Amino acid sequence: MTLAQLIGYSVLTFAAWKLVRRHASRKANALDVAGPDKQHWWKGNMEWMFVDGFQRCLDVAAEFGGAVRIPVLFGEEWLYVSDPRALHHILVKEQHTFEENDSFLSCNKLIFGDGLISTLGEQHRRQRKMLNPVFSTANMRELLPVIQTISHQLKSILVSNLSSRSEDDHARCRESVEIDVLPWLSRSSLDCICEGVLGYHSAALETGNEDEYTNALRMLGPFIAKTLIVRPIIPIVMRNCSLYWRKKMLDWLTISWLPTQIMRNLRELRQIVEIMDSASRAIFQEKKAALQLQLPSPPLSQAHDTLGGTAGKDMMSIMVRANASSSEADRLSDSELLGQMNVMIFAGLETTTAAVARALYMLAKHPHIQEQLRIEICGAMAAYQVPDPDHSHAKDESASARLSYDVLMNLPLLNAVVRETLRLYPSLPVLTRRTTRSASVPLHFPVRSASGEEIDVIHVAKNQRLVISILAANHNQAVWGEDASEWKPDRWLKSSQGVSPGDKDGVKYPGIYSSMMTFLAGNRSCIGFKFAEMEIKDVLATLLPAIHFALPSEPDDNGNVKEIHWKMTGFHIPVVKAPAGDGETPHLPLSMRLVRE
Ligand code: HEM
């Protein structure tokens, strides 16, 4: 036998042995809980549920309950969870037993460095301790004027788009114009997060364009999604190869003459990460230098000074200052602070864009509620409008029409519309976790075992994958009522009459935001939820008094009316259905006209 044959046989024997072991371990650790039949012999139900599977994700939970066995790739099974007690156990009580996956953490570390979404255990706890106060209500109050300036710019752009197409004022009020709002909402979110979180004046709305850095930030999410296929090998490489070999492998993988699409995507992602990294470093150095010079925080009115767009009131500046004055034991390293910058942008950009887009779409679909909301906002503007003495944030004629933080955050119908939209259409519908040891998951609502018995606890082996279904939890009829899947903002208005939505005889979800799971629960819940809520509310409060939104109704040149479909591909993305659209490209065409005085 030649050496080559010997190596070949050894490799085959090893692979066969691994397969047999894997099969035996899967059998021994099979999930004893009911679930849907397998849809494909090797893909299982992966595509069936998680590629544009909004309705399936709900149907499966409605049919099998709050814990369901889902067959996925190559015979693996995942536990799909939406039961309230199970989610409390997984996310709050036993969080260290149910952690983020290796591949998620390793990829995040490569892309973002040592930010919150790349760390575990004590390091993650230390980072949260430092960062939680940065997102306090007091800091949000300080930031609102920055967000308001951006919302006003967005409004001015949309209004001028409407005006430029009509001859006179009278016609302007009558005529509806169809505009794809998605690119504008995306730029507005980008500006909000760059200015509010980084103190970086991105000016994506102002210029209608993006510089290299902001373009990289916007493209990051889509390119991460396009390269998900290489994710499973990253932890193996990170564990087994030195930094030198990791770099070498990356150089080989992204070599310019490799022609496949996945290689092109990897090359693009590498470039995006390099641009993001060097720009973030420059911004970070500026903030540190400002701190060392002990520059006082000038008033917000002096925007866009040396400290960046928010005059040192941005989250990063606050973070750098808080870190410098904290004890040695709590202090974060420069690489940890830098990691947070990139993470915030990634975590806050597409999530908030999707939420604002969905809220506008729902209001377009429900003109009656849109009108009631407009009346509420205009009434508050008339009663509580805060003067903007120096008009420093003014970029349009109505820049002084601003509400204070407390008024904006407490408008009942605005609150109800935002909550109901975030509940029904969570920007991140499903997340995954993995067990670090064998464990039990208790249930509030019993389910059926694989053999049909009623069970209220499920045993899971070490390394079991779980899917946290935020979507199914937020639609659970046993908790939210029979109309759980209907968009009814007024369910939130009843809370003033002692009815708490999402609390059925004391059974509720552990979510940090009105007991819905949209921003998750526990130590890894969304740190930026107050920022997101403020931004969504401010955009709506600024646009609605000026612009009326409706669904497209005019046929195009081929006689087709645009019908919008929300595709669930990790995020919810609006696309235009065929034949009027391609069903793929993100678009949100809405018919708009100026509000009649
Ligand atoms: C509607 C908007 C948003 C939604 C629905 C949302 C939702 C979520 C969810 C579900 C998680 C948990 C992810 C996981 O465990 O894998 C999360 C984490 C996170 N979010 Fe948000 N988010 C939003 C906006 C924002 C904004 C505006 C920021 C920053 C300014 C932000 C920063 C973060 C960070 C840093 C984490 C990681 C927290 C940790 O691991 O400790 N998010 N978000």
**pLDDT tens digits, 105-129:** 988 888 888 999 999 999 999 999 9
- For the record, the structure tokens of 25 come out as 């371990």
Kindly give the number of the ligand 1 atom that is closest to the alpha carbon of 531: 27
Do 66 and 489 touch, CB atoms closer than 8 A? no
- Residue tagged 């001015």 (tokens): 156
Domain ranges of the chain: 3-102+426-527
Ligand 1 pocket residue status of 151, Cβ below 6 Å:
no
- For the record, the structure tokens of 285 come out as 């150095």
Q: What is the pLDDT of residue 399?
A: 43
Protein residue with its CA nearest to atom 11 in ligand 1: 526
List beta partners, residue 591.
Answer: 178, 550
Determine the distance separating the centroid of ligand 1 and the alpha carbon of 343, expressed in angstroms.
9
Protein residue with its CA nearest to atom 20 in ligand 1: 526
Identity of the amino acid at 247: K
Buried b (16+ CB within 10 A) or exposed e, 456-476: eebebeeebbbbbbbbbbbbb
Ligand 1 pocket residue status of 58, Cβ below 6 Å:
no
Determine the distance separating the centroid of ligand 1 and the alpha carbon of 252, expressed in angstroms.
34
Ligand 1 pocket residue status of 343, Cβ below 6 Å:
yes
Indicate the annotated binding residues for heme: 526
Q: What is the pLDDT of residue 303?
A: 39
Checking ipTM against 0.90, whether it exceeds it is: yes
DSSP character at residue 9: H
Ligand 1 pocket residue status of 61, Cβ below 6 Å:
no
Ligand 1 pocket residue status of 484, Cβ below 6 Å:
no
Neighbours of 359 (CB within 10 A): 22
Ligand 1 pocket residue status of 527, Cβ below 6 Å:
yes
Ligand 1 pocket residue status of 413, Cβ below 6 Å:
no
Ligand 1 pocket residue status of 427, Cβ below 6 Å:
yes
Cα four-point dihedral sign 335, 131, 309, 224: positive
Protein residue with its CA nearest to atom 29 in ligand 1: 528
Determine the distance separating the centroid of ligand 1 and the alpha carbon of 297, expressed in angstroms.
28
Do 449 and 377 touch, CB atoms closer than 8 A? no
Give the integer Cα–Cα distance in Å for 246 and 46: 30
Q: What is the pLDDT of residue 146?
A: 93
- For the record, the structure tokens of 32 come out as 């004893």
Ligand 1 pocket residue status of 510, Cβ below 6 Å:
no
Determine the distance separating the centroid of ligand 1 and the alpha carbon of 528, expressed in angstroms.
6
- Residue tagged 């479909």 (tokens): 565
CA nearest to 344, candidates 317, 307, 324, 316: 316
Ligand 1 pocket residue status of 539, Cβ below 6 Å:
no
Q: What is the pLDDT of residue 310?
A: 58
CA nearest to 398, candidates 143, 593, 167, 151: 151
Ligand 1 pocket residue status of 428, Cβ below 6 Å:
yes
Ligand 1 pocket residue status of 189, Cβ below 6 Å:
no
Do 485 and 55 touch, CB atoms closer than 8 A? no
Do 369 and 412 touch, CB atoms closer than 8 A? no
Low-confidence ranges of the chain (pLDDT < 50): 297-309, 390-399
Do 90 and 489 touch, CB atoms closer than 8 A? no
Q: What is the pLDDT of residue 258?
A: 65
- Residue tagged 């009346």 (tokens): 375
Give the integer Cα–Cα distance in Å for 68 and 443: 12
Q: Give, for ligand 1, the residue of 351, 465, 534, 538 to mutate: max count of ligand atoms closer than 8 Å to Cβ.
A: 351
User: What Rg do the C-alpha atoms of the chain give, in angstroms?
Assistant: 25
Protein residue with its CA nearest to atom 21 in ligand 1: 526
Neighbour-count burial of 142, counting CB atoms closer than 10 A to its CB (0-12 exposed, 13-18 middle, 19+ buried): middle
Indicate the annotated binding residues: 526
Ligand 1 pocket residue status of 116, Cβ below 6 Å:
yes
Do 106 and 500 touch, CB atoms closer than 8 A? no
Q: What is the pLDDT of residue 462?
A: 95
DSSP H or E segment with residue 577: none
Determine the distance separating the centroid of ligand 1 and the alpha carbon of 212, expressed in angstroms.
25
| CATH number of the 3-102+426-527 domain | 3.30.43.20
Q: Give, for ligand 1, the residue of 526, 537, 540 to mutate: max count of ligand atoms closer than 8 Å to Cβ.
A: 526
